[in-house]
Structures are given as C-alpha cells and as structure tokens.
Amino acid sequence: MSGVCIPQRRNDSPQDTRGTVPAGTVVFKTGSVIDHLVGANEIIPTSHGPSKSGYRLAPMSADFPTAAYFPYNPDTGFDAPVQLAIAFVLRHDPNPTILVPSIGSLSGTRSLESFAKKRPVLTPLNEGRSHAVRGSAMLVYAPALKELELAMRYGRRGSIAVVEDPSWLADRWADEIGAANLGSVPPRIHSVSRTPEHERILKAIDWAGNNGWHDAPGKRDLIRLLGELNGIGKLDKGEVVAYQLVHGRNHRYQSLLGLEKQVDKIIGRRG
C-alpha cells in the first residue's frame, strides 16, 4: 500500500479522531486502505485565476466513495474542510454546484466565497431560479435536513461532499451513503451493519411512503412498522430518516419532517 499524507494535529491523543493542522503541515501514514489525501498545493481554479488550496488529492481508485463527509471540529474551523471538499468535488466535476442554507452563508469562509464565484449556487429559497445542473457534483456547506434533502435530489447520487455544521450532525447520512470521512484521523469509510429483519422493516417503511405517508394506508403502515422497529429495539429517528434520505423513493423534505414526528410520538410513548 502506498502512503497517505493527511492533515493531523501534532498533539493528537488516541481518542482524538478529528484533528487537523494548518495547510502545509502534514503527517505521513502508511498501510492505509484510503489512498487519497496527500498534503499541499492542489491548484484550484477560481474566478481570479488558479490558486493554491493548501491541499491536494492523490488518484482515487474506481471503487473509492463518491461521497465525502467532513465532521465539524472546533479546533479546525470551516476553511480547511471546505478546501478539501473543493478538491474532492473537482475530481469528479469541473463545475460543481455549491449548496448552502442561504446566499449569506457563502461568506462563512474565504475559500467558499472565492470558489462560488461564477459557479452555480443552490439554496432552499432559490431552487426554482438557480442555474444548478441536476446530476452535477455537490459541495454542501453547513446543511440541515432541508439542505441535505435538496442536495440528494439535485445530485442524483453523483459526487457529493458535506461540510458539517455543529447545529445538525450528518453522521447518520454518512453511514447510509457509505461516505469517506475525510475529517477523521486516519480517514475511514462509513458503513452500517443490520440484521435482515432490521433491513426489511426499513425497506417496508419506504414502500409504505408512496404518498409521503400522508394517506390513511401509508400512515397506518408507517405506525405499524415503526412499532416493529421499536419492538426489536432498533427504533432510532436519525437512522430512519437517513435511510429514507439516501435510499428512499422521491421522499421530499416535508415528508421527512412528518416521518420524524411519527418517530418522536412512538419514542415519547416509550419514554
């Protein structure tokens, strides 16, 4: 295996899995199955001409995930993960879409603000007016459920990089989509492990939601299936919603909110 050079704090403890250092400070690790991150000077095209991002990506194998997850780390801030997310999506699409909660969010980091110039920017409010191309790579900054649902719908399972905000954690989404966690040290691939019964119930919830679980049969089946999950000790709102977000059939944001409310009702009775 070739070595991987990843940003890392010099004083990492064994329990610290998210630390990074400023651009240009790198630590070489060998034997990793994730042969992607190396350390400095990727050339990033911007509206002002080429510039150095501080990070670059080594060649990725064909089976490397097309989804990347950058969990929030208060020691790192947002600019370093945004730079890595830029490098990641550019490997898949020279003209990716930037998705943010609002246009004002672009000023959250200088790297994001610069990169967004002359590129399509999508928000929940400008969805009908944006020049975003469906199926393009998506750089998603500080999303909550509404933004991530929009990104999944527009991205159509193409390349996506999510830079997390602490107000809404995207780890369950990362688990379901099998994202590469490029904020952990060492980087790792998210995954899930379920029994056949657990998986069957989650799939059945999807099939019951043809009308967003709003009609009487769909709501009845949803309540029954959530009760089955509760009965096997596997009722978890984050997992149920993330499963639908990644694997569900045409479930929109309002339907997912309704799903969350139904789970909360059952959990409330359980408590």
Same domain for 60 and 11? Answer: yes
Among 189, 213, 241, give the residue marking a domain's end.
Answer: 189
Rounded to an integer, the average pLDDT of 124-133 is 90
Q: How much is the average pLDDT of 198-212?
A: 93
Per-residue pLDDT, averaged over 45-69, amounts to 57
- Out of 189, 224, 242, a domain closes at 189
Of 158, 143, 140, the C-alpha closest to 82 is 140
Residue 5 has pLDDT above 60, yes or no: no
| 176 and 72 assigned to the same domain | yes
Contact between 189 and 65 (Cβ < 8 Å): yes
The residue to which tokens 């040290």 are assigned: 185
Q: What are phi and psi of 135, to 5 degrees?
A: 95, -5
Q: Is 252 found in the same domain as 130?
A: no
Of the two residues 157 and 214, the one the predictor is more confident about is: 214
Picking from 189, 215, 241, the residue at the C-terminal end of a domain is 189
Q: What is the pLDDT of residue 174?
A: 98
Neighbours of 192 (CB within 10 A): 15
**Residue 107 and residue 219 in one domain:** no
* Residue owning tokens 């089955």: 228
**Total domain count, the chain:** 2
Shared-domain flag, residues 135 and 216 = no
Residues 182 and 70 in one domain: yes
Same domain, 247 and 175: no
Q: What is the pLDDT of residues 210-224, one digit of tens each?
A: 888 989 999 999 999
Return the SS3 of 83: helix
Are 50 and 180 in a shared domain?
yes
Whether residue 184 is found in the same domain as residue 83: yes
45 with 69, same domain: the answer is yes
Residue 137's domain comprises 4-189
Q: pLDDT at position 164, please? A: 98
263 and 218 share one domain = yes
Identify whether the C-beta of residue 82 lies closer than 8 Å to the C-beta of residue 195: no
Instruction: Report the share of the chain in percent with pLDDT over 70.
Output: 76
Looking at the fold, whether 24 and 141 belong to one and the same domain comes out as yes
Residue 31's φ and ψ, nearest 5 degrees, are 80, 10
Contact yes or no for 143/101 (Cβ under 8 A): yes
Sheet of 121-122, strands arranged across:
121-122, 97-99, 138-141, 160-163, 67-70, 180-181, 188-189
55, pLDDT greater than 80: no
